[in-house]
Amino acid sequence: MSVYKPLTGAQATAEAMRQINPDVVAAYPITPQTPIVEFFAEFVANGLVDTEMIPVESEHSALSCVVGAAAAGARAMCATSSQGLALMWEIVAATPGLRLPIVMPVVNRALSTPINIHCDHSDTMGTLTIGWVQIYSENAQEAYENVFLALKIAEHPDVLLPVMVMQDGFITGHGVENVKVLDDAVVKEFVGQRNPDRYLLDLEHPYTIGPLALPDFYYEVKRQQEEAIERAKEVYLRAGEELAKITGNTYPYFEEYKSDDAEAVIVILNSAAGTAKDAIDELRAEGRKVGLIKPKLFRPFPYKEYREVLKDKKVIGVLDRSISFGSYAPVYAEIRNALFELDHRPAMQSYIYGLGGRDIFKSEIKNVFEELLSGNVDSEKQKYIGLRG
Amino acid sequence: MATYQDIVSKPTPLAPGHRMCAGCGIPAIVNSIIAASDKPVIVANATGCLEVTSTIYPFSAWNVPWVHLTFENAAAVAAGIETAYKALKKRGKIKDDVNIIAFGGDGGTYDIGIQALSGALERGHRFLYVVYDNEGYMNTGNQRSGATPFGADTTTVPAGTKSIGKTQWRKNIVEISAAHRIPYAAQAAAHNVVDIYNKAKKALSADGPSFLAVLQPCTTNWKYDTALTMKYSKLAVETNFWPLYEIENGKVHINYKPKERKPIEEFLKGQGRYRHLFKPENRYAIEEFQSLVDEEWERLLKLEESGAKL
C-alpha cells in the first residue's frame, strides 16, 4: 500500500534510495544536496538498508568511487549540486563513455561566482553536451518517482548510460510536501537487481574497461554512445509505462498543462512550473487561452514531439533559470531548434528568471502571458523577469 | 622465501605485447607485485605510462580485470571497487576473495592524485596503492612533478644559464602515506624484484590500506641507455638516494644498508637530466645533493633506531 508522508524533496529522494537499497552509495556534503546523503546515512546507521556507504573526501572522488563500484558490478549511486557537480565534471564527462548505469540525483543550485547556495539551473545546464540522460522534476513527488524511472533507463541494455534526476534546490529540496510513497515490496520488485553482462568482479572473465582509444577507434565509441542516448528516448517511455502501473502517474517527455487550445504557451521546467500552473488557472478563469509545457526528459531532447505540440501555437515564451552566456538560453535554444522544420513558426520570446534563487511570482508569469499575447516579442532578444532595474 | 626464479616464473598478468619503452622497468614491477597475491587481483590504473601503453583499444595486455577512469583518482576508483566487493560479498553475489591494487605514476600520486589517495587511506579501504615513480611526468615528456629530485632538468623547470633545474627536494610520499596510520607503507626499487615481491606480500596481507613506492628509472627522460635501467635503480639504492625501507604499523625498518654508500655522483653521472650539474659552475649543486641525501639517510637511521612509532 502506498502511504502519504510529509517529506522534503531531498528526503523523498533519500526515501527512493532507501527503497532501491543500492549496493554502494558515495556521499559528500554540498548544499542543498546534503540532506539526501544525511537521510540516507541515517538509514544505513539504523539498518534500514544494507548499502555500503563511502563518506568520500570530495565530489570528484564521490563519482570516481561510484564509477569504480559500478564497473565492479555494483548498483551504485551518489548525489550532488552546483560546485560539487562542477568539481566532478571531469568524471561526469568520463562516465557515459564507460557505459555504466549510474543514477545521480542533482539538487539544482547556482554556480559560483558570486557564490550562492540557492536555486538556478546553471549547474546541470552546463553538462548538457556530455552524454547523461537528464530528467527534471517539478516537485518532491516527481523527484521521488523519477529516481525509479532513471534506474530503469540507466540499466536498460539498450541504454547503459548514467542518468541525472534534477530538483530545485531549497524550493523542492528543502520544502515539505505530502509525498505518496510506494510500498517497499512494490519498489523492490520494480527495480529488481542489476545484472551486468561484464564486470570487474567477474573474475572468470577478466575485463578491461576504460582503455585508451586513439583516432582509429575513439570516434566509433562516441557514435555508439550517441546511438545509446537516442535509444533512451523510447526506453524512457516504456519505463514510464511500467512505472505508471505502480504509481498511477504518467511519464510523458513533457507535461502539457492546458496547452491544447492555448494561443500562448510558456515552457518552464522544475518548480516554477507549479507557479505557472496557478497563473494559468487564474488567466483561464478570465477566458485567456494560455498554457504550459513542462519539460521532463531533457536529454535526449525529444525535438519532434515538441514540434508536434507547438507547431500551431501563436506565440511561445520560454523561461530559463540559467543563462548560456553569449548564446540563447539552454531551454529556449532547444525549443527554437525544435521548430526549425516548420514552414510557419510561432512567434517566440526568451526569458531569464530566478537566477541565484530569486523568487518568481505568479504575477510575473501573468505579465509574461500578457506580453506574449500582446505580440510584443522578439525571438532574438532575451528578456529578464524580476531583474532589479 | 620466494627466489628471483620463483617470481619470474609465475604467470604474467601484464602480458607481453604492451607498448612500453624498451628498457622500461614498469612491467617487471607490476608483474612482481601481482605475483605476490595469492588471491585474484583487480587493477585500477591511473592515466599514465602504464595505462596508455597496455590498453590501446582494441587491444589489452591485461590478463586480470582492469579499469582506468582518469588521472588523479585511481585510489578513489579502487575504493569504489573494494566497497562494491564488500557489498556484493555481503549479499552473497560473489564468493571469491580478491586483492585490489591501484597503480599510478608519480604525477598521478604525489601531485594531482594525492587528495584521492589521502581520502582512500584515511577511510581504511583494504587495497594496495602502488606508485611506480619515474620522478616526473614522463609519459608526456619529462615535466616536473612533486617527485622530481633536486637538480633534475625537466621541460617545465629546465636547466639553463640561470637555473640548475629543480631546486626543491622531492616529497616523502611514503611517510605521507604512513602518516595516515595505515598498517604498511614501503619503498622499493625496480631492480630488486625479490624485495618488491616480499613487500607486496606484506602489503596485501595487511588488514587495511597499504602503500608501495617503487623507483622506476626512466630511460626516455632520465636520458640513459636502455640497457641501464636496473643499473640506475641499483645505484639509487647504493648511494642512499632511494633507501629500501618499510614502515610497518608505524615502525621504520630499513631493508638494505649499503656497506659503503657510494657517492651520489655515481647515480647522477650518465643521466642526461643531470648532465648540467657536472659543469664547473654547478658543481656546488652536486655537493648540496650529496648532503641532502646524507641528511635524509641519517634521519631514516634515527627513526629506525628510535623504534618509535611514526
Q: How far apart are CA A241 and CA A378, in angstroms?
A: 39
From chain B residues 83-142, the ones with a CB under 8 A of any chain A CB are 83-88, 90-91, 93-94, 96, 98, 115-116, 118-120, 122-123
Q: What is the mean pLDDT of residues B262-267?
A: 98
For residues B203 and B186, the answer to whether their CB atoms sit within 8 Å is: yes
> In CATH, what class is A254-384?
alpha beta
DSSP three-state, residue A8: strand
CATH of residue B273's domain is 3.40.50.970
Q: Which chain A residue's Cα is nearest to B44?
A: A68
Order of all β-strands in the sheet with A208-209: A208-209, B66-68, B41-45, B99-105, B128-133, B210-215, B184-189, B245-248, B251-254
> Mean pLDDT over all residues of chain A?
98
pLDDT for residue B60: 97
ipTM: 0.97
Stated pTM of the model: 0.97
pLDDT the model gives residue B222 = 98
Q: Round to whole Å and give the CA distance between A62 and A57.
A: 8
**Residue A97 amino acid letter:** G
Are the C-beta atoms of residues B187 and B243 closer than 8 Å to each other? Answer: yes
User: Has residue A356 got a pLDDT over 90?
Assistant: yes
In the numeric block, the cell 551504485 is attached to A76
Cβ-count burial A281-298 (b if 16+ within 10 Å, e if not): eebeeeebbbbbbbbbbb
pLDDT at residue A389, as a whole number: 83
A3-247 and A254-384: same fold?
yes
Residue in chain B nearest A53 by alpha carbon: B83
The full DSSP string for A72-116 is HT--EE--B-HHHHHHTHHHHHHHHHHT---EEEEEE-PPSSS--
- CB atoms near residue B40 (< 10 Å): 17
Neighbours of B160 (CB within 10 A): 10
* Per-residue confidence (pLDDT) for residue A1, from 0 to 100: 83
Instruction: Decide which of 1.10.357.10, 3.40.225.10, 3.40.50.970, 2.60.260.20 is the CATH code for A3-247.
Output: 3.40.50.970
CA distance A272 to B109: 45
Using one digit for the tens of pLDDT, what is the confidence trace for A171-219?
999 999 999 999 999 999 999 999 999 999 999 999 999 999 999 999 9
Residue ranges making up the domain that contains B99:
4-306
Whether residue A211 and residue B60 make contact (CB cut-off 8 A), yes or no, is yes
How confident is the model over A274-287, as a mean pLDDT?
Answer: 98
Tell me how long chain A is: 389
Give the mean model confidence (pLDDT) for residues B149-158: 98
pLDDT the model gives residue A221: 97
Name the helix (H) or strand (E) containing A328.
none
Q: Which set of grid coordinates corresponds to residue A173? A: 529540496
Beta carbons of B84 and A54 less than 8 Å apart: no
Domain boundaries, chain A: 3-247, 254-384
Quick check: A172 and A143 in contact, CB under 8 A? Answer: yes
Q: Is A26 on the interface with B (CB under 8 A)?
A: yes
Q: Do B76 and A64 touch (CB under 8 A)?
A: yes
DSSP A129: G
